[in-house]
Amino acid sequence: MYVFIAILILIAAILLILIVLIQNSKGGGLASGFSSSNQIMGVRKTTDFLEKATWGLAGTVIVLSILITAFIPRGQQTQQSEIRQQVNDAVVIDPNIVAPDFGTAQQPVAPVEETEGE
């Protein structure tokens, strides 16, 4: 179902691109060059049709994009993140190894006294 909806979105997007390229923002565009469609519907009705088709295809792309989120293929749910899993796989934790504790305060070192004879 995911692939089917994705194909519908692709087709609607291509049609939307073609219809937008046919239009002209000032009302002329390539639509005025289609003499057969102008004879049937007239120039004004052709531009109205192209505008309605643009809005309809744009709405279709939006609705299908929202709908496709329900059909996203989901993998297995892991209980921990992939990064944590990679760290655990890369670092072998041995309970017998004692690491230094860097959080404790160190004992102050006594100052070294200088000898006068040297």
Segment 48-99, tens digit of pLDDT:
888 899 999 999 999 999 999 998 887 766 566 777 777 777 666 666 666 6
Does the pLDDT at position 28 exceed 70? no
Half-sphere exposure in the Cβ direction for 81 (13 Å, CA): 3
Q: What is the pLDDT of residue 12?
A: 96
Q: For residues 8 and 64, is the Cβ–Cβ distance under 8 A?
A: yes
Q: What is the pLDDT of residue 18?
A: 93
Contacts of 50 (CB under 8 A, 6+ apart): 19, 22, 23, 31
What does the DSSP 8-state code read for residue 42?
A: -
pLDDT band at residue 3 using 50, 70 and 90 as cut-offs: very high
For the entire predicted model, the pTM comes to: 0.51
Token pair recorded at residue 51: 């505008």
